[in-house]
A = this chain, B = another copy of it.
Amino acid sequence: MTGKETQGAVRLIVPGGYGRSIDVAKGQYVGVRDIEGGQCGDFWAIAADDLDHFLSPSYTWVHLGRIQPRVGDQLVTNRREPILTIIADDVGWHDMLVPACDKQRYERYYGVTGHRNCHDNFLEAMGMRDWGKRPVPQPFNLFMNTLVELDGTMHIKDPISKAGDIVLMMAMMSLIVVVSACPMDLNPVGGQGITDLEILTGNTEEEILTSIK
């Protein structure tokens, strides 16, 4: 017994191409599951008590000495405070380099207007939380497969996540978590189609893993 009330995991579907937010208390677990496989999920974690304090890929790279986190790693904020610990990861390779796709990405690079995008999904999901005109932070792109060569060349490759793959993390502070099931269907990042993700939260790792058995 942890002393916490256990009421079972909370499960929230993120429809393909859309974003959702959820509250995660300090010490709780949060998982993101790639239901059908090959679906990138832009993931943000923001301190519940200060919207200017959030998970930061670049501060995490310096903390880890790596641009790819692994199981057991602590992710840190833009103030270098631990914000999440990676508890389990069925994939083991995600992206932290690529910013959220936005309307400019579709218009300038693909000539497509009015496309759904992770930037606006973030703002929609945060719409009730007074985000204001702050820039959208750099996301942690779950189930996204990028590679950097020694000369700095960056490749966005086909996703490698399989149906049911999950990344499970523990919150080191109370958080707002936002996940966007990335609507990008114009380059390899989206794999074979845009599909749903699932966010799971719970008080224990077992609670979450049991809920999806």
User: Which residues on A are within 8 Å of B, measured CB to CB?
Assistant: 52, 56-59, 61-62, 65-68, 78-81, 97-99, 102, 104-105, 108, 133-135, 138, 147-155
Chain B residue contacts of A80, Cβ below 8 A: 102, 104-105, 108
Q: How would you classify the secondary structure of chain A's contact residues: helix, strand, loop or mixed?
A: loop
State the copy count for this chain.
2
Provided the pairs A99-B58, A102-B80 are in contact, do residues A66 and B133 lie with their beta carbons within 8 angstroms?
no
Tell me whether A58 and B98 are in contact (CB under 8 A).
Answer: yes
Chain B residue contacts of A61, Cβ below 8 A: 97-98, 154
A66 to chain B, nearest CB (A): 5
* Complexed CA–CA distance, A211 and B97 (Å): 38
Provided the pairs A59-B99, A135-B52, A138-B58 are in contact, do residues A154 and B105 lie with their beta carbons within 8 angstroms?
no
Tell me whether B99 and A68 are in contact (CB under 8 A).
Answer: no
Chain B residue contacts of A98, Cβ below 8 A: 58, 61-62
* Complexed CA–CA distance, A84 and B141 (Å): 27
